[in-house]
A and B are shown apart, each in its own frame.
Chain A
Amino acid sequence: MVIGLARSAVRGLRASPLTTSIAVFTIAAALVLAGGFGLLVANMGDLVERFGEELQVIVYLEAGLEGEALRELAASVGTVEGVADVKIVSKAEALARFRDSLGGAGLLEGLVDNPLPASLEVSLRSQDRTPEGVAVVVAALSGLPGISELAHGQEWVEGYARFASLVRAGALALGLVLAIAALMIVANTVRLAVYSREDEIEILLLVGASRSFVRIPFLLEGALQGAMGGALAVGLLYLAFVAFLPGLEYGLELVLGNTAPHFFSSGQALALVGAGGGLGLLGSLTAVLGGRPAS
């Protein structure tokens, strides 16, 4: 029975290759655009997550704070709610890091006094690595003595997260519009198929076929068209990803920082194919339930 229904659906698709192709390509086009945005959003989300993981607060200390006083301050910073770890960076260590970052000592050779302050690198607990968590820790640290300045990437991270949310909302809105367009096209394709097979539907109902028996092949047709469109979209996106990525590296670096862009995981790719299938199914449901087949 199930095989028979599937066979009937495939026969239906093969009976009208042109309309089937139009529906498949339209769904693919809609999903390529929506999927492209999805890919960007997924990569931006990864970057936001990575920022979160690296999010820490640097506590610059007043000059002269050394020895026991420095350790006491570090200990009291360690007790602040949300703080996971505190690392003391002495003036000498700060200078050594600066020298390393310059790639040598050339520029710093004439330096008599070390102008860099000692600092504390404060790591946050994983659940507090958010803009809100940073704000709480910064507020608690502000009142402690011996601190000259607090540095953190909170504002930048917040701004980036807002930008990522905006892109995500845009992708969702665009995806929704494209999904509706694809849905209407599938609905019309299936409706045409229903009209072109009215004689068959009439005979099936006449010989005692149930309505679901008559409708299921049309629903399968829609779902198959959608899934084929989804698979085509994944293929096209992958080709575009591989072909155009080298040329876009500079632009992507502005958006994604130095995170290497990645393609969809196999699960996400399957979800895109499933989304196509779902769109097709919805479209054919609209067509089949919205009008014929009649009695």
Chain B
Amino acid sequence: MSFWERHSPGIGGDGAVRTYHVSKSYIAGTFALHDLTLEVAKGEFVFLMGPSGAGKTTLLKLLFAAERPNEGQIIVLGRNIARLREAGVPALRRRIGVIFQDYKLLNRLTIEDNVAIALDAVGTPRREARTRAFRMLKQVGLQHRRYHHPLSLSGGEQQRVAIARALVNEPEILLADEPTGNLDPELTIEIMDLIASASTRGTTVIVATHDVGLVERYGKRTILLDRGRIADDAPAPGRSL
């Protein structure tokens, strides 16, 4: 029996993400996350809801090891983040795709290179990386803009490039932090449909948002965070936790 299994009664199974009494504090006495215990199953689609400062971004950062918890255990794809060595972080991140509100694209690269960078970083041969990047751009409908630069694209198109970059490595988990925060309602649906399509292919998807309309439209499990704690965990309609 593993450490996790011995010390996490009630949370087992085949989870993509499991957290156990996780706390994160940036300033002494103030918690960004406090005593957070949750599980996300493989292939599940989860919305993280809550106002600004609720801890959504902090939780996502913990999940891709950009931050470490002060207390508790976090198991992502079988790896304990709290005890993960620096050298083990890249291998974990190659299994996780991340999308941000501000896209985080490199303006001096073409959009194809922006997508291929995720493959270059893991040593994929250049030709293969470009082929796969092109295929991915085709999936998000931007193959005709492959040699354009991000600044010549609209906000929605830039986010589609970011999604392509996050998915080109076929990650097991897709994390999205307010992916539609800068987009108008029409583009929001377009982007969310792309993210949801990743879920249908078996990718575990966690989307942080404060857009209630979005949550209602997609009808997925929704975890409500409030001041670093889980205020509510509503299962998707027709599914119980």
Whole-angstrom distance from the CB of B232 to the nearest CB of chain A?
30
Would you give the shortest CB distance from B149 to chain A, in whole angstroms? 14
Report the stretch among B18-26, B88-96, B151-159 that lies at the interface: B88-96
Inter-chain contact A199/B123, CB cutoff 8 Å: no
A213 to B91, CA, bound (A): 13
Contact residues in B for A204 (Cβ distance below 8 Å)? 117, 121
CA distance A279 to B91 in the complex (A): 33
Q: Bound complex: CA of A208 vs CA of B170, how far in Å?
A: 13
For residue A267, CB closer than 8 A to chain B, the reply is: no
By a CB distance below 8 angstroms, the chain A residues around B95 are 208
Chain B residues within 8 Å of chain A by Cβ, number:
24
Q: What residues of chain A lie closer than 8 Å to B93, measured between beta carbons?
A: 205-208
Does A151 sit at the interface, judged by CB under 8 A?
Answer: no
**When the two chains form the complex, which single residue of B90, B108, B165 contacts A209, counting CB atoms closer than 8 Å?**
B90
* Minimum C-beta distance from B132 to chain A (A): 13
Q: Is the CB of A202 within 8 A of B90?
A: no
Bound Cα distance from A213 to B79, whole angstroms: 22
User: Is there an interface contact between B104 and A203, defined as CB atoms closer than 8 Å?
Assistant: yes
Report yes or no: A207 in contact with B169, Cβ–Cβ below 8 A: yes
Q: Which residues of B in the span 82-124 have a Cβ within 8 Å of any Cβ on A?
A: 86-87, 89-95, 98, 104, 106, 108, 117-118, 120-123
Please tell me if A158 contacts chain B, counting CB pairs below 8 Å: no
Chain B residues positioned under 8 Å from A15 (CB to CB):
108
The chain B residue sitting closest to A213, CB to CB, is: B121
Distance from B160 Cβ to chain A, minimum over Cβ atoms (Å):
17
Would B165 and A202 count as touching, CB distance under 8 A? no
Q: From residue B225, how far is it (CB to closest CB) to chain A in Å? A: 23
State A207–B90 Cα separation when bound (angstroms). 8
Number of chain A residues close to chain B: CB under 8 A: 18
Closest chain B residue to A203 by CB distance?
A: B104
Closest to A209 in B: B121
Given contacts A4-B120, A203-B104, contact A208 B66 (CB under 8 A): no
What are the interface flags for A1-36 relative to B under an 8 Å C-beta threshold, 1 for contact and 0 otherwise? 101100000000001000000000000000000000
Q: In the complex, A209 Cα to B93 Cα: how many Å? A: 8
Cβ contacts under 8 Å, B117 to chain A: 203-204, 207
Tell me if A207 and B121 are in contact (CB < 8 A): yes
If A199-B104, A202-B104 touch, whether A208 touches B86 (CB-CB below 8 Å) is: no
Kindly list the 9 A-B residue pairs having the minimum CB-CB distance in the complex, ordered from nearest: A208-B94, A209-B121, A208-B93, A207-B118, A210-B90, A208-B90, A1-B123, A207-B121, A204-B121
Interface residue ranges, B against A (CB under 8 Å) = 64, 66, 86-87, 89-95, 98, 104, 106, 108, 117-118, 120-123, 126, 165, 169
Assuming A205-B90, A295-B89, what are 15 further A-B pairs, CB within 8 angstroms?
A4-B126, A203-B117, A206-B98, A207-B93, A207-B118, A208-B92, A208-B118, A208-B169, A209-B122, A210-B87, A211-B86, A211-B87, A211-B90, A295-B66, A295-B86
